[in-house]
Structure 1
Amino acid sequence: MQKLVEVIAKSLVDYPDEVRVKEVVDGDSIVFELSVAQSDMGKIIGKQGKTVKALRTVVNAAAVKDNKKISVEII
């Protein structure tokens, strides 16, 4: 799942080498902390947050088969 977030994020930004995804497990939920270059922040968030919302939707859809609660946070 972490690789999925990383691949999607790298395809959206200008500086893919600066994309970092950290997995934090908290009980039965998993949080992916996504960090990108400051200049790429707008590309990850998108207009009115639509891009990050779509990213979260894809990750949640992939997590359904594993019965896990997953969230993506941008740092």
Structure 2
Amino acid sequence: MKELIEAIVTPLVEYPDEVQVTSKDEDDRITYYLAVNKEDMGKVIGKQGRVAKAIRTVVYAAGASQHKKIYLEISE
């Protein structure tokens, strides 16, 4: 899943080497934390959050086969 998130986000940003994805696995869910350069936040979030919503939709669909809820948090 980390590779999928990186593959989606890396082409969108100015500083692809600063894209970092970490995860926290809990009993009933997996939370992925996406960190990008401060200047790239607007590109990752998009107007009215449309890009972030699209990324989350793809990630959630890809994680549907797992029996845990998938969450994606975006931070600087």
Tell me which interval the TM-score lies in, with the shorter structure as reference length.
Answer: over 0.9
RMSD over aligned Cα, in angstroms? 0.8
Corresponding position of 1:39: 39
Corresponding position of 1:21: 21
Cα deviation 1:21-62 (Å, max 9, x = unaligned): 001112120011000000000000000000000000000100
Question: Separation in 2 of the partners of 1:3 and 1:23?
Answer: 12
Structure 2's unaligned 5+ residue stretches are none
Question: Separation in 2 of the partners of 1:67 and 1:27?
Answer: 10
Deviation beyond 3 Å, 4+ runs, structure 1 = none
Structure 1's unaligned 5+ residue stretches are none
Normalised by the length of structure 1, the TM-score is 0.94
Question: Separation in 1 of the partners of 2:4 and 2:68?
Answer: 15
Question: Separation in 1 of the partners of 2:58 and 2:67?
Answer: 15
AA aligned to 2:42 is: G
AA aligned to 2:19 is: V
Aligned residues: 75
Of all paired residues, the percent bearing the same amino acid is: 51
Corresponding position of 2:12: 12
Normalised by the length of structure 2, the TM-score is 0.93
Q: After TM superposition, give the deviation of residue 68 of structure 1 in Å.
A: 2.2
